[in-house]
Amino acid sequence: MIAVTTDTFEPEVRQAAQPVLVDVWGPRCGPCLALMPFVEEVAGQYSDRLKVVKVNAQENRRLCVQLKVMSLPTFLFYSQGQEVGRMTGEVKAHELQRWIEERLNQAV
């Protein structure tokens, strides 16, 4: 799982050959930190079908404004360079996994 910034978002996410899950998190966001180990697990589990990246909202405020991120955590799903899904707020790991699987099935 790699960290992306305002400068690297375009090549890493919008120009990616495979679907991308973007985890927008903050260092003071309890739910973000609680989900981070699960998101890292997802990155390994789906590595052949899904690229997983993270955006530190505190360090990339301009990017968060561009992406219209209003709360943390926010998960964005990109397919063929376009945002095709968004999940925001405190979620449980199993809910996030089901959401990811649904997006992956639609991206095929």
Which tens digit of pLDDT belongs to each residue from 45-59? 999 999 999 999 999
Tokens 């649904």 sit at which residue?
102
Which tens digit of pLDDT belongs to each residue from 77-101? 999 999 999 999 999 999 999 999 9
From CA 83, how far away is CA 67, in angstroms rounded? Answer: 10
Token pair recorded at residue 18: 């495979």
Segments making up each domain of the chain, as ranges? 2-107
Residue 66, classified by CB atoms within 10 Å of its CB into exposed (0-12), middle (13-18) or buried (19+), is: exposed
User: What residues are annotated to the active site?
Assistant: 29, 32
CATH superfamily of 2-107: Glutaredoxin (3.40.30.10)
Cβ(91)–Cβ(35) below 8 Å = yes
Q: How confident is the model at residue 69 (pLDDT cuts 50, 70, 90)?
A: very high
Q: Quick one: which H or E segment has residue 45?
A: helix 30-45
